[in-house]
Structure 1
Amino acid sequence: MTAAVRLPELPDRYNAAETFIDAHRGVRDSAVAIRCQGTGVTYGEVAANVDRSGNALRELGVGMEERVVVMCLDSPAFVYAFFGAIKIGAVPVPTNTLLVPHDLRYVLADSRAVAIVVSAPLLPKVLEIRKDLPRLRHVIVSGGDAPPEALSLEGLLAAASDELSPAETTPDDACFWLYSSGTTGFPKGAVHLQHDMIYCCETYGASVLATTERDRHFTVSPLFHAYGLGNGVFFPFRVGASTVYKPERATPDLVYGLITTERPTILFTAPTFYAALLAYPEQDFRYDLSSLRMCVSAGEALPKPLFESWRKRFGLEILDGIGATEMLHIFISNVSGRSRAGTSGTPVPGYRAKIMDDDGNDLGPGATGNLWVSGDSCAAYYWNKHQKSKAAFKGEWYVTGDKYHLDPDGYYTYEGRSDDMLKVSGQWVSPAEVEAALMEHPAVLECGVVGAKDKDELTKPRAFVILKNGRPPSPELAEELKEFVKGRITPYKYPRWIEFVDELPKTATGKIQRFKLREMKV
């Protein structure tokens, strides 16, 4: 259960761009909204360019409810395209910038997009598949010269009017789509409504982040993902705060450097990147993190040793939580002052959660089962996937597909994906539990656990392990890790095979793609 939360009443005619863009006109015109590559963009400039973007799209014939794929690196152009489309009643579809052409073709075809706004370095992917997409009328390139078959976003903005009235949408109209991250195969398009972003702001944004106009957000997780979209766009834009963007690939040096120079107050990333930051040699450390008041983690469960190592080194807690593309952002979270390491925390005010068995019975505290969540930021449905929608959305409840344990104090602990759980020796085994045990070993940097068949065709845990720098793999170390796990969790859960690898297959947001681990040949 959760505490009640007071939400603003929205009028019958409501467009999300009014809340996040227009509300700052004449109030914070000169305040910096975005810092990107050493340059500041004010709220006044953002508002003008959003209106220009909307007018340009409308001049190109983009109509209400038509989809506009936004495949931009983290930059002001993302915001202009995203809110420009929303303001004219079109539906932006933020899209993974790491997609290969085959997967991008799927998103463009499935969404029936009529236009795509794409960063110049990514344009070749689009041009390679454009001939296969008869509905795609316009390719708009940002941050570089446009070839004859494309249009320049900067050119369109320069020619367009900076005055635009919002379309007459309602709170329950489609606002934008987000495609799931694809941990189990082809992604699904989750349809989010005009009221979803403000709901997240008045729940997680207000009660956990408590962001004010004096804050500066820095999200390492990209804007095309639900987690990054909240961190870097709608949470700061709700209150007139500023946000730091980095179009470059994240590295520890880059992120530490931006924290030092841009002075953000809240850092958002995933456990995998916190581990990479911690792996930075202390003797070479020359950065200043004193501006940070809060660190946030999501995307996968934060291991307890990682939480403790970060706090010991930097004196900051990492607030772990669980969110979902379908729920738009985090709905269960730890809170400053009452974090419990190794858990995802308690339900965010405005959300309800419960633990259910496979027959749909509420198991209550002390149980492990399927996590269901309810809150008004939930997607309306999956586009063009009726059967999957029926399986995932049960009235007001979303079936997350995660296994969780609920303790008597109301804290939720991640046990793994429902379809990742392993039946070993007649007992259920959580891959996350085995991974957490392995992560406690000083030689292990990252790991992923899946099921594999032994010679008798029985399922046993198999671990893929990335070692920390300087530790060579060996059969002796593999046996050491097996014994190490036996000493920390119930012995039958230990991994029967240890495979040393250089990298793990992941989504763009750091989630391990277990289906690819299962397919790996070692």
Structure 2
Amino acid sequence: MTANENAAVYFVDRHVAEGRGGNVAFREAAGKRRDLTYGRLAERSDLVAGGLERLGIHPEQRIACLVLDQIEYPELFWGALKAQVVPIALNTLLTAETYDFILRDSRAVALFVSAELYDVVQPVLANNPVLRQVVVIGDTVPEGALSWDAMLSGASPRKAATVGEDECAFWLYSSGSTGQPKGVRHVHGALKATADTYGAQVLGIREDDVVYSVAKIFFAYGLGNAMTFPMSVGATTVLFHGRPLPEVAAGIIRDEKPSIFCGVPTLYAAMVHWLEKNGVPEHCLRCCISAGEALPEEVGRAWGKLWGGDILDGVGSTEMLHIFLSNRPGDVVYGTSGVAVPGYDLRCVDEEGTEIKPGGVGELLVRGASAAEGYWNKRSKSRTTFEGEWTRTGDKYEITEAGRFVYCGRTDDMFKVSGIWVSPFEVEQALVSHPGVLEAAVVPFRDADDLEKPKAFVVLKDGTEPAAVTAELKEFVKAKVGAWKYPRWVEVLDDLPKTATGKIQRFKLRGRAPCDDLHAADTKNAQKEGAA
């Protein structure tokens, strides 16, 4: 008899069969402070599978999930997998226009939405040609929608459908930072592949762990942190659906006592700044990880001094589902992304596809079992990204003689100055190592001779005077990384444009003209300096 490789059997039902049904799988950190055991999750996901069948939603049809990080999310996700229905995890911070695009592009037949998010998506629902049902999770249910409780009321529990590991399980939509988001299709076996590799062999996840991820479930990084890894061993996840401000995240670490904290570089930088002024709370952390964007070396070192432990900086992608390149416990080298996670193969190639030697810079390609099946309705893009067993990441890396990978930037962010490649990330790391700088972004900007030079946008720490620091930063970077790499212009902003997952959107800064007298003076000076 063929084994059922439905991921819900492994991540949910297995724990009941093996005696872990009483373990708390999820607990909420705010509001009602509800919790959900593995036994209860098995029952509720069976009921959700029956509820989907009752609504007339058939296997392989798609449902859109615009849901906050709350107890109902794992019930819905795993229940859909049991019904062989394909859940699509949607970013909760998008515009109505983007939701309209995704709903039409995916042809989802139903939308499950938290009551708090309904008003954002409501304007685009009436004219959708495919959407048949809207189910609202919460106390307030608008006219024409069905409540979550009503959907489940009277439904007959249904056990997990028998599927193979290569059948499509769920979709994620890419961040769309440079265009419309793309539907990324993942199979059942990919979830276990990430747990068996990064979860087991780098994170070392244990049954007694409590995990808190600031990245939400809709994000590939958050899905692994909050569901796949803890649920692979019967551990507990702390759910929080609000904004992870530094003081809020510190409070959750203090009150909920997670042993694993999963952050992003933007938040780590903000927390370091906040904690230096307010102190480090009592905690039970044994491991901190980071992904989403490369972690600045200065931020990692400052965090270590405050908390007494390292951040394991790693690299993953929506296409690969989670981290495939990472630093490891006891083997952290800040300023690098580490080495390949066991189970993955990596190589860097130049523009001609030739593998680079140590010291060179090339695009990173990765091979591993968690790779996506492809993009939905994007055949040309699928063919250029997924090359047989290899997936192009779009990231430029240098490989050191020791075999570690050093992030240089996105392929479309790199640029040349005086014929030499410049990594925006390298210049940004130098900038944030200045005591007055909180965040930085570097993009190419054309001078009076139509030549590209680095331009920096910085967010300053409280109490730092912009006029005093801009000129100082140029000399500071020169001394750190080289004379030709320093920013010819420095502009101070209140915030940098970012995606919902914390990645800096450098494309929104390109071509931005200097905006005041201070920056105009910077422009004149840069023109005088020419190709220096």
Please tell me the TM-score bracket, short chain as reference.
over 0.9
Change (3 A) 1:519 1:152: farther
Q: Retained in 2: the 8 A contact 1:92–1:176?
A: yes
Out of 475, 495, 504, which is 1:503 matched to?
495
Report 1:58-457 matches (<5 A): 58-161=53-156, 163-285=157-279, 287-289=281-283, 291-457=284-450
So what's the TM-score if we normalise by structure 1?
0.95
Quote how far apart the aligned CAs of 1:168 are: 2.6
Comparing 376-385 with 134-143, greater Cα deviation is found at 134-143
Gaps of 5+ in 2: 516-532
**Residue identity opposite 2:145 in structure 1:** A
Q: Counterpart of 2:522? A: none
Quote how far apart the aligned CAs of 1:261 are: 1.3
Change (3 A) 1:105 1:171: same
Query: SS in structure 2 opposite 1:310?
Result: helix
Query: SS in structure 2 opposite 1:21?
Result: helix
Q: Retained in 2: the 8 A contact 1:30–1:42?
A: yes
**CA distances 1:306-363 after superposition (whole Å, capped 9, x unpaired):** 1110111110100000000000000001100011111110000000000111111112
Q: Retained in 2: the 8 A contact 1:117–1:141?
A: yes
Q: Retained in 1: the 8 A contact 2:81–2:169?
A: yes
Comparing 501-510 with 152-161, greater Cα deviation is found at 152-161
Q: Retained in 1: the 8 A contact 2:280–2:307?
A: no
**Residue identity opposite 2:25 in structure 1:** A
Change (3 A) 1:351 1:48: same
Q: Counterpart of 1:513? A: 505
Moved over 6 A (4+): none
Q: Retained in 2: the 8 A contact 1:482–1:494?
A: yes
Cα distance in 1 for residues equivalent to 2:351 and 2:173:
26
Out of 40, 43, 49, which is 1:45 matched to?
40
Q: Counterpart of 1:6? A: none
Quote how far apart the aligned CAs of 1:282 are: 3.7
**Residue identity opposite 1:142 in structure 2:** I
Cα distance in 2 for residues equivalent to 1:16 and 1:228:
17
Quote how far apart the aligned CAs of 1:25 are: 1.9
**Residue identity opposite 2:108 in structure 1:** A
Change (3 A) 1:332 1:283: closer
Cα distance in 2 for residues equivalent to 1:316 and 1:514:
31
Quote how far apart the aligned CAs of 1:159 are: 3.2
Quote how far apart the aligned CAs of 1:154 are: 2.6
Comparing 206-215 with 146-155, greater Cα deviation is found at 146-155
Query: SS in structure 1 opposite 2:394?
Result: strand
Cα distance in 2 for residues equivalent to 1:345 and 1:189:
29
**CA distances 1:36-64 after superposition (whole Å, capped 9, x unpaired):** 02332211121111111111111111111
The answer as to 2:489 corresponding to 1:494 is no
Quote how far apart the aligned CAs of 1:182 are: 1.8
Query: SS in structure 1 opposite 2:480?
Result: coil
Query: SS in structure 1 opposite 2:440?
Result: strand
Cα distance in 2 for residues equivalent to 1:117 and 1:102:
18
Gaps of 5+ in 1: 1-9
Cα distance in 2 for residues equivalent to 1:401 and 1:160:
45
Quote how far apart the aligned CAs of 1:286 are: 6.3
**Residue identity opposite 2:272 in structure 1:** L
Q: Retained in 2: the 8 A contact 1:364–1:406?
A: yes
Q: Counterpart of 2:16? A: 25
**Residue identity opposite 2:161 in structure 1:** A
**Residue identity opposite 1:189 in structure 2:** G
Query: SS in structure 1 opposite 2:112?
Result: strand
Q: Which has the higher contact order (CA 8 A, sep 6+)?
A: 1
So what's the TM-score if we normalise by structure 2?
0.94
**CA distances 1:452-502 after superposition (whole Å, capped 9, x unpaired):** 11122211111110000111321x421111111111112111111111000
Q: Retained in 1: the 8 A contact 2:294–2:407?
A: yes
CA RMSD of aligned residues (A): 1.4
Task: Give the total of aligned pairs.
Answer: 510
**Residue identity opposite 2:403 in structure 1:** G
